[in-house]
Amino acid sequence: MIHQLKTLVYLAGLSVLLNGCLRPVTPRTSTGSTQPTRDDNLALGNPSRATLNDPDNYLMAKSTYTLSYSRKRGIANWVSWHLSSAWKGDSPRTNEFRPDPTLPTGWYAAKTSDYTHTGFDRGHLCPSDDRDGSAEDNAATFLLTNIVPQAPRHNREVWKYLEEYERHLVANGNEVYVIAGTYGVGGTGQNGPASALAGGKLTVPASLWKIIVVLPTGSDDVSRISTNTRVIAVNIPNVQSAADKPWNAYVTSIDLLENQTGYDFLSNVSADVQRIIEARVDGGNS
């Protein structure tokens, strides 16, 4: 009898032990990664709701950036990309300016000769130096759908300094989301004013604008954007004299850019957060 009782106690204890071992384990709460990664270039939203069905708001998704292209204007409406140190490397500048072979059949594809002796630079929207992680990444920035007619001093001075500031932010422990685009018709290059190149096939924009969203390096980026997130917006006239001032002389708000372009920026961000950060004007450069 005593032996049977001991056996029952032993079996009961073993059952409790096994049940404890088999009970589902509660997953640990993730603290989020702080390692730089290559994230979705369109994570913050499609500002013009570009699709494959609209030739003047035509969505083109590359591995290195995403853009909306206008067949009528012959240039991009906007280009969107993510930048973190994961995109950076030491691959040299390829200088492979070339037509974009992915444009639909029958559409005019800009050629390098369209810019020759025009007084306008072949200006990048997504910069070459933002994509030097590999030769392939860098070469993608020289597709002429990522290039617009840009006043030389605008391209080589004020716009360049803004691009360098983006990379300065990344070098200091941040990642950024950037949307850059064109607005209007008519700029002033080295040879004076012009509204179009290549016999009217390529529009010379009146201004180039840019939005930069700054986040500490991490994961779940859209959910981390708050009313305290730094957002920089600029709109710089496409003229030689634009370079007479620093880029932060041209700061504006996202709200004003939306009113001008008709786009809806940061559409994947909470509406309550958008309301605050899109009204803000950030004039800093540090």
pLDDT score, position 31: 40
Distance from first CA to last CA of the chain, Å, rounded?
Answer: 84
Q: How confident is the model at residue 34 (pLDDT cuts 50, 70, 90)?
A: confident
Q: Is 124 a catalytic residue?
A: yes
122-135 tens-digit pLDDT: 999 999 999 999 99
pLDDT higher than 80, residue 25: no
Residues 6+ apart with CB under 8 A from 246: 158, 161, 285
Question: Is residue 5's pLDDT more than 80?
Answer: no
CA distances, 181 to each of 118, 227, 271 (Å): 21, 24, 23
Q: How confident is the model at residue 286 (pLDDT cuts 50, 70, 90)?
A: low
Instruction: Collapse the DSSP code of 216 into the 3-class scheme (helix H, G, I; strand E, B; otherwise coil) and give the result.
Output: strand
Question: Taking residues 45-60, what's their average pLDDT?
Answer: 98
The 10 Å Cβ neighbour count of residue 203 is: 23
For 143-191, how does the pLDDT look when each residue is reduced to its tens digit (9 = 90+)? 999 999 999 999 999 999 999 999 999 999 999 999 999 999 999 999 9
Percent of residues, the chain, with pLDDT higher than 70: 88
Question: Which pTM value belongs to this model?
Answer: 0.88
Lowest mean pLDDT among 13-22, 53-62, 219-228: 13-22
- 178 touches 212 (CB < 8 A): yes
Q: Considering the chain, what percentage of its residues have pLDDT values greater than 90?
A: 86
> Strands 66-70, 58-61: parallel, antiparallel or unpaired by DSSP?
antiparallel
Determine the pLDDT at residue 18: 38
pLDDT at 283: 75
Average pLDDT, rounded, for the chain: 91
Residue tagged active-site, from 3, 117, 124, 168: 124
